[in-house]
Amino acid sequence: MQEKTGTEGKSEGLLHLPDAPAEQHRYAVRAWQEPVVMRSYMPDLPDVNPLFLEKRVYQGSSGRVYPLPVIDHVAVEPVQHQWQAVHIENESIRVMILPEIGGRIHIGLDKRNGYDFFYRQNVIKPALVGLAGPWASGGVEFNWPQHHRPATFMPVDIDIERHSDGSVTVWCSDVDRMSGLKGMHGVCLHPGKSYLELKARLYNPTPLTQTFLWWANVATRVHEHYQSFFPPDAKYVADHAKRAISKFPLCEGTYYGIDYAGRAKDGVPAEEMPRHHIPDGSYAANDLSWYANIPVPTSYMVLGSEGDFVGGYDHAARAGLVHYANHHIAPGKKQWTWGNHDFGYLWDRNLTDNDGPYIELMAGVYTDNQPDFSFLASGETKTFSQFWYPIREIGPPVQASCDAALSIAVKDGVARFGISVTSDRPAASVKVKAGGQTLYSAEQDLTVGHPFFFVERLPRSVSMEDLDVSIYQGAQRLLHYAHQPAGYVEAVEPAPAVEPPLPADVSSADQLFLIGMHLEQYRHATRRPEDYWRECLRRDANDARASHAMGRWHLQRGELVQAKVHLERSIARLTELNPNPYDGEPYYTLGLVCRYLGEEDAAYKAFYKATWNAAWRGPGYHALSQIDASRGDWTLAVEHARVSLRMNADDLNLRNLLAVALERTGNSVEAEQVLGETRTLDRLDSWSLFLAEGIVPADGYKRLALASDLMRCALFAEAIIVLTASSSEALDGSNPIALYTLAHCYRTVGDVSLAASCSAKAQSADPRYCFPSTLQEMLILEQAATAGDGMASYYLGNLLYDRRRHQEAIAAWEQALKLGVSFATVWRNLGVAYFNVQGDGKRSREAYERALAANPADARIFYERDQLWKRIGVDPVLRLKELLNRPDLTARRNDLSVELATLFNQAGRSSEALDLLTSRPFQAWEGGEGLVLDQYIRANLVLGQDALVQSDPRIAVERFSAALHTPENLGEARHLLVNQSEIYYWLGMAFHMAGENGQARDWWQRAARQTGDFQQMSVRSVSTATLWTGLSLAMLGEEAAAQDLMRNIFDFAEELHSTLPAIDYFATSLPTMLLFEEDLGQRNKIEATFLEAQARFGMRNFAEAGRLLQIVQSLDINHVAAQNLSRLVQQSAASTRGR
């Protein structure tokens, strides 16, 4: 069979799928491992420096990345790379999984018609979209425990499981290093079924409740004939964090800055018309279900639907896909697109060579938005299934189940029905009713791959909304459709989310607690939950809930003494009148704290009290069983583990502890039984694999996680076996912590000599990528640092800084220096901390000098030093000189090259800036786009203005025109909503000088039509570009309108001056705050003063404009726009004097 990849965008050199091995032919479902070779752009090695991105916003929540190392560059030239692949197929569909890239599904092929129902990538071309860097589009990505899973470009463990019914599941498993949560997804095909079942198991092996989301991120190839579909009750959709709402599918207002209502009324404005995938007019211009209608990057998530399906349909290929899941736990239904315009085309190129655009049809479980996190309790496992299947010919369904999809199209009183099934259904019953009257009833053999159609003329009184369709096979209902099912309530437009007030402005203690919980649950990037709980405690020092929240917060930071104080206060308030409180969690949390403090008896007592409440019986008895094991009381460990298991039967660690305890009490047969059951639940569970087969995880961090589980139960001998399997040559950064942990284990069992030997090895181990992250590691490192180990102090500093214990982190790093540990990263970390924590630019600068002296070849440190110099106002001339002195480092990093271009522009060397910008490829981070393009535009504008000064309008037109067209090597493109009036204005001036006044007026008119702007990932009503709209109006002779606009700019600036500076609560990106803290007040003052200067310039008050610009440049020596405007002010003033 010749494979197809869709209707367009076919890539040169299609990915070749190997045939199934001969031994697989006896199975109805074939599954095997066989590598594939693909054209691939390979990521660079991660940077060796830890990144503490405390205010990074990522997909609406925290973009914190520690302890993961970050990759910030991908190869620009492809290679033929062999990827490990798992193939699975039945008679209907074929699927390929890539375990080395997060276990993503790479291919979903309908074998019956050759249609790729998932977007097939014929190339692996990651871009800087992921949490830790590389992210590849296409197929299906499984996002958990946060969006674009941290392991999206990391390997997962795999296992192929055959089931007794002939189905096969390919399991992919990983443990998230950031949270310790374990996630598994199993790709399952069944004999005779055309659907793919995705089985998910989400497990929390940690002692604390944690948060997660789950979005299955499906990509589909799109064009002007591709339409997404949702249940009929999907009437409203929301943006990220529900900050904006739109009607659906017909948007009746503005969404993501696009006036869809205006499009519906007046058509698509000329500047918004796409160059590719042009709508053919068969659907409304404000219909958000059609990819081609959406010109800018846009997310929308369905609100309040009670339907169970979502999908997309390719009207050109007459094929599509359906996703089905139980909406009671899987409410998430989302579409994302880069947009059908230049910005979107740029990202299409960034992510593939020739395979064309895609959209994401995402399906969320336990979530309906991004961010929208749910809780996963300690020891809890959540399991669920999602289903996808291809459809053909029937068109977009109005109802879908796991068994069938139904389409209905009514035109001129005639209804056309289409049915597609996922397995053969002989003698199926199909009935159509309306108002109690049967319109159609037939028995029909329904078969996979052969949709069934019938047509029925409707009575005049019957519309589509009246139809009721049911499909049965015997007593089994396969599908039921009713446009307004029983109990249907018409949706009311939801209100957008609002920013919560600051702590001091919150009226009640209850609200303070709940806002804090919301911020913690949703991992807000810039608003801190503890500020709300502290305010609550300021009003009532013993508030039970806030005290418990603060106790848990201190525990997570490793501040055990403070945690204990708060927890005891919480319990004291809860038990003032009643010794048996409703909630046992404060007792459980206190038990954890006491155990970490070594107060085992107190911990035991607290855990037991927690078990008085059903919600905490499972975790409480598990913790008791662990202490029993540590005391050698295995009989009691069995007893307590059994009780816990009745509450939480899928708790893998508990089951493994029970198996050990049973073995220790001589119940080996039952131990084997428990172990076998555990292996049935999770064939990739590290502990049960170790117990059953003696297998130690190959991955260093999985070994550490297993050793930690064993140590909680005082199984130090077993932990030693696991840790001694570590390789001293491991390059993942795990080796030093494995050695420190091994030393701790030897010390605990009384082998002082081996403990000392391991400690010595830990001190000399390669520190690259060693970013400790767990509380247990903190305690072990504290012990080693106290004993005078300088490397332990360095590692401890990393962990403390990540926990926002900044001053202690600084002290730890400084202690490491005193003990002779002075490699570059120690100094670099201090450079970050001295500026961000202590506000000491001088010490920070000195630390960076020491860091560069220790490793002159570290390009990231070189970049960070330049950014520090920029922040503290070092002369740009010196910065430029330094960058030019190290072309080897500057050329290695995109961001350094952008800074060099910026400095060229600032120094009046725009030709060199342009040469640099057009001589190399650039790679943008999603959310940080525009930096390269801004400098490209600036260089062309300056060169064009210089040409005007030299009375050379031809060159000026050439340069200004170039500013409108982005070379592909920049890796960026103009967002449709970015205001281009400055370029238009100068083109008008150039044509005016050339005597082509008609052309001049055309460009000024285009500038005059520009309203608003798109800056820092948000739509603005007034920006620094508004000036040029006003100046263009003046050139058109519309002086009154021009001056009105200048007054608007001035009023906006005045309002900005008086506005309390704050970070946007709903910000989706904060590119200026990724590395060094920014003075928000000064930034606000600079922006307002510059806008005021622009307004004065537009009002022709050149003296005042010049004075204000001097203030701006005194506050920010690197303000290029102020520098450029100063030049224009001087020229305009001189011209005025000349007249």
What band does 1139 get if pLDDT is binned at 50, 70 and 90? low
The rounded distance, in Å, linking the Cα atoms of 753 and 751 is: 6
Amino acid identity of 201? R
Closest residue by Cα to residue 103 from 148, 140, 145, 147:
140
Q: How many helices (H) and strands (E) does the chain have?
A: 36, 41
SS3 of 197-221: the string is EEEEEEECCCCCCEEECEEEEEEEE
For residue 433, the cross-strand partners are: 438, 468
User: pLDDT tens, 834-864?
Assistant: 999 999 999 999 999 999 999 999 999 999 9
Grouping H, G, I as helix, E, B as strand and the rest as coil, residue 99 is helix
What band does 7 get if pLDDT is binned at 50, 70 and 90? very low
User: How do the residues of the chain divide into helix, strand and coil, expressed in percent and rounded to 5?
Assistant: 45, 20, 40
Closest residue by Cα to residue 147 from 102, 116, 91:
102
pLDDT confidence of residue 1072: 59
User: pLDDT tens, 368-388?
Assistant: 999 999 999 999 999 999 999
Decide if 359 contacts 84 (C-beta within 8 A).
no
pLDDT confidence of residue 791: 99
User: pLDDT tens, 1031-1076?
Assistant: 999 999 999 999 999 999 999 999 999 998 888 898 877 665 689 9
Q: Which CATH number fits domain 505-610: 1.10.3210.10, 3.40.190.10, 3.40.50.970, 1.25.40.10?
A: 1.25.40.10
For residue 454, the cross-strand partners are: 417
Instruction: List, in order, residues 6 or more apart from 266 with CB less than 8 Å away.
Output: none
Grouping H, G, I as helix, E, B as strand and the rest as coil, residue 767 is coil
> Is the confidence at residue 815, as pLDDT, over 90?
yes
Average pLDDT of the residues in 111-120: 98
Can you say whether the dihedral through the CA atoms of 1075, 1079, 1080, 1086 is positive or negative?
negative
pLDDT confidence of residue 11: 44
Indicate the angle between helix axes 617-631 and 600-610, nearest 10 degrees.
150
Amino acid identity of 817? L
The rounded distance, in Å, linking the Cα atoms of 591 and 626 is: 12
Cα–Cα distances (Å) from 610 to 36, 53, 937, in that order, read 53, 36, 64
pLDDT confidence of residue 6: 37
> Is the confidence at residue 245, as pLDDT, over 70?
yes
pLDDT confidence of residue 47: 96
400-482 maps to CATH 2.60.120.640? no
User: pLDDT tens, 282-315?
Assistant: 999 999 999 999 999 999 999 999 999 999 999 9
Amino acid identity of 479? L
For the chain, the domains span 22-241+297-390, 400-482, 505-610, 890-1138
DSSP letter, residue 1089: H
User: pLDDT tens, 1093-1111?
Assistant: 999 999 999 999 999 999 9
Indicate the angle between helix axes 585-596 and 544-556, nearest 10 degrees.
30
Grouping H, G, I as helix, E, B as strand and the rest as coil, residue 358 is strand
Grouping H, G, I as helix, E, B as strand and the rest as coil, residue 22 is helix
Domain 22-241+297-390 fold is Beta-galactosidase; Chain A, domain 5 (2.70.98)
CATH number at 890-1138: 1.25.40
Decide if 763 contacts 791 (C-beta within 8 A).
yes
Strand 123-124, strand 36-40: pairing: parallel
Decide if 218 contacts 321 (C-beta within 8 A).
yes
Average pLDDT of the residues in 520-542: 97
Decide if 589 contacts 553 (C-beta within 8 A).
no
Decide if 9 contacts 316 (C-beta within 8 A).
no
Q: Which of 7-11, 137-141, 829-833 has the weakest average pLDDT?
A: 7-11
pLDDT confidence of residue 2: 35
What is the token pair recorded at 377? 């309790």
Cα–Cα distances (Å) from 890 to 71, 847, 856, 871, 944, in that order, read 17, 21, 12, 19, 27
> Is the confidence at residue 3, as pLDDT, over 60?
no
Average pLDDT of the residues in 188-207: 99
What is the token pair recorded at 253? 């207002």
The rounded distance, in Å, linking the Cα atoms of 1046 and 1034 is: 11
What is the token pair recorded at 932? 């390269």
pLDDT confidence of residue 1013: 85
Closest residue by Cα to residue 448 from 467, 426, 432, 427:
426
What band does 1020 get if pLDDT is binned at 50, 70 and 90? confident
pLDDT confidence of residue 489: 72
Same fold, 505-610 and 890-1138: yes
pLDDT confidence of residue 57: 86
Amino acid identity of 237? V
Strand 414-421, strand 404-411: pairing: antiparallel
What band does 8 get if pLDDT is binned at 50, 70 and 90? very low
What band does 4 get if pLDDT is binned at 50, 70 and 90? very low
The rounded distance, in Å, linking the Cα atoms of 823 and 843 is: 17
The rounded distance, in Å, linking the Cα atoms of 850 and 870 is: 18
pLDDT confidence of residue 1019: 85
Grouping H, G, I as helix, E, B as strand and the rest as coil, residue 428 is strand
The rounded distance, in Å, linking the Cα atoms of 190 and 197 is: 8
For residue 1018, the cross-strand partners are: 1015
User: pLDDT tens, 687-736?
Assistant: 999 999 999 999 999 999 999 999 999 999 999 999 998 776 667 999 99
For residue 287, the cross-strand partners are: 250
Can you say whether the dihedral through the CA atoms of 593, 598, 604, 605 is positive or negative?
negative
Mean pLDDT of the chain: 95
Closest residue by Cα to residue 549 from 576, 583, 578:
583
pLDDT confidence of residue 1032: 98
What band does 200 get if pLDDT is binned at 50, 70 and 90? very high
What is the token pair recorded at 1042? 């021009």
Average pLDDT of the residues in 609-624: 98
> Is the confidence at residue 126, as pLDDT, over 70?
yes
pLDDT confidence of residue 106: 99
The rounded distance, in Å, linking the Cα atoms of 1118 and 876 is: 7
Give the full edge-to-edge strand order of the sheet including 452-457: 399-400, 404-411, 414-421, 452-457
Of all residues in the chain, what percent carry a pLDDT higher than 70?
A: 97
Of all residues in the chain, what percent carry a pLDDT higher than 90?
A: 92
Phi-psi region of 605 (alpha: psi -120 to 50; beta: other; left: phi over 0): alpha
The phi, psi pair for 854, rounded to 5°, reads -70, -30
| DSSP H/E element including 549 | helix 544-556
